[in-house]
């Protein structure tokens, strides 16, 4: 089979490999679509582990089902690359995504390949999702990123009637804008440095999209009846944007740290200004649990969200390098999907 081997963002090679052999409780999936995630282009996060095959936002067809898997050949599925154990202290407390098992599990070899083996632990821990006929393969690549967004907003206390500011309008930010609008936010605002993404933020539900260089808390107040944002979702690693997020948070509001920064970035925290007498809350989120994935699939299947409209590029496996360039370049692209069978 063919796969796209990652050496760096500028060095991705299409190579040949053996189709993985499966065992009991395992699945072999022919990958029909795999999305490129923003985390896939974070070189600092994985450069010491290359070469490797990336790709965790997948959808495809089961071509082999191991004994006891509970699935059948021919089923259309998506799958979680990380799954929790369900029994540790973290899982029992509702923090499945910091579980040690979740951080060790993965696909073999990765979604940017013609076939992947879904290990037994992923199957047994509920990490495989049968797709209804109404959900296309490319739509199903949104299950994993949408699950992450759902979890983040839930942990941050998203509810109807609040005002939401999303800092950074890449694909994660656009998903947050779109979901916040669908969940009943009274006002939704977005920022970015890229005019293409600002237009996308408006198209997917923002009441106002601010160019990052022109944004200020005072501008936010003018657009939000004199108030700052009840919920600020930080979808950029820019230290200056994070500082803006602090200044844009209303009293008793919540800031959700959704995107990582550069590995060595430090952000000053004016403790008294932020917290004393203000009852603000800072939360973080990472990944999604199988329950989050199932909720994401339900939202996709009921057409609650317009996800297909976020896809800007569909590329064959041979152009994976081009796809990584589009995502890392943050130009006129939102969701880039690789189709390994093409």
Q: Which CATH class is domain 157-284?
A: alpha beta
State the average pLDDT over residues 37-63.
93
Quick check: 267 pLDDT over 90?
no
- Give the model's pLDDT for residue 93: 97
First-to-last C-alpha distance (Å) of the chain: 12
Strands (E), the chain: 2-8, 11-16, 27-35, 57-65, 76-79, 115-118, 128-130, 163-167, 187-192, 208-211, 229-234, 249-257, 281-284, 311-316, 335-339
User: pLDDT tens digits, residue range 106-117?
Assistant: 999 999 999 999
State the average pLDDT over residues 199-203.
98
Of 38-52, 152-166, 175-189, the one with minimum mean pLDDT is: 38-52
Considering the entire predicted model, what is its pTM?
0.96
- Give the model's pLDDT for residue 211: 96
- Give the model's pLDDT for residue 135: 97
Quick check: 90 pLDDT over 90?
yes
- Give the model's pLDDT for residue 44: 84
Band (46; pLDDT cuts 50, 70, 90)? confident
The fourth-level CATH superfamily of domain 2-147+287-339 is Medium-chain alcohol dehydrogenases, catalytic domain (3.90.180.10)
State the average pLDDT over residues 139-143.
98
Quick check: 302 pLDDT over 90?
yes
Range(s) of the chain covered by CATH 3.40.50.720: 157-284
Band (264; pLDDT cuts 50, 70, 90)? confident
Range(s) of the chain covered by CATH 3.90.180.10: 2-147+287-339
Instruction: Tell me what the pLDDT averaged over the chain comes to.
Output: 96
State the average pLDDT over residues 170-185.
98
Quick check: 47 pLDDT over 90?
no
Quick check: 199 pLDDT over 90?
yes
Asked if 9 and 43 touch (Cβ cutoff 8 Å), the reply is: yes
Give the 3-state secondary structure of residue 154. Answer: helix
State the average pLDDT over residues 226-232.
98
Higher-confidence residue of 64 and 263: namely 64
Distance between CA atoms of 169 and 28, rounded to whole angstroms?
Answer: 35
Secondary structure, 3-state, 272-295: HHHCCCCCCEEEECCCCCHHHHHH
């Amino acid at each position: 089979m063919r796969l796209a081997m990652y050496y760096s963002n500028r060095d991705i090679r299409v190579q040949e490999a053996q189709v993985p052999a499966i065992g009991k409780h395992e699945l072999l999936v022919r990958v029909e679509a795999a999305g490129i995630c923003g985390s896939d282009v974070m070189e600092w996060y994985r450069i010491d582990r290359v070469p490797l095959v990336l790709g965790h936002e997948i959808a495809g067809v089961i071509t082999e089902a191991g004994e006891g898997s509970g699935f059948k050949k021919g089923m259309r599925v998506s799958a979680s690359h990380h799954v929790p154990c369900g029994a540790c202290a973290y899982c029992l407390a509702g923090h499945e995504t910091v579980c040690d098992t979740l951080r060790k599990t993965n696909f073999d070899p990765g979604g940017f390949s013609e076939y992947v083996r879904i290990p037994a632990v992923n199957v047994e821990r509920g990490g495989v999702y049968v797709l209804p006929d109404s959900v296309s393969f490319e739509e199903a690549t949104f299950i994993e990123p949408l699950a992450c967004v759902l979890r983040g907003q839930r942990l941050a206390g998203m509810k109807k009637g609040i005002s939401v500011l999303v800092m950074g309008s890449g694909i994660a930010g656009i998903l947050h804008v779109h979901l916040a609008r669908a969940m009943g936010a009274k006002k939704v605002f977005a920022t970015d440095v890229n005019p293409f993404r600002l237009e996308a933020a408006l198209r997917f539900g923002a009441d106002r999209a601010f160019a990052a260089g022109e944004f200020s808390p005072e501008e936010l107040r003018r657009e939000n009846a004199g108030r700052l944002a009840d919920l600020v979702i930080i979808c950029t690693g820019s230290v200056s944007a994070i500082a803006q997020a602090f200044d844009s948070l209303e009293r008793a509001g919540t800031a959700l740290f959704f995107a990582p920064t550069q590995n060595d970035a430090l952000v000053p925290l004016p403790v008294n200004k932020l917290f004393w007498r203000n009852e603000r809350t800072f939360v973080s989120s990472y990944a999604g649990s199988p329950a989050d994935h199932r909720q994401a699939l339900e939202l996709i299947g009921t057409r609650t969200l317009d996800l297909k409209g976020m896809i800007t590029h569909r590329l064959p496996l041979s152009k994976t390098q081009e796809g990584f360039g589009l995502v890392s370049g943050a130009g006129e692209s939102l969701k880039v999907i690789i189709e390994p069978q093409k």
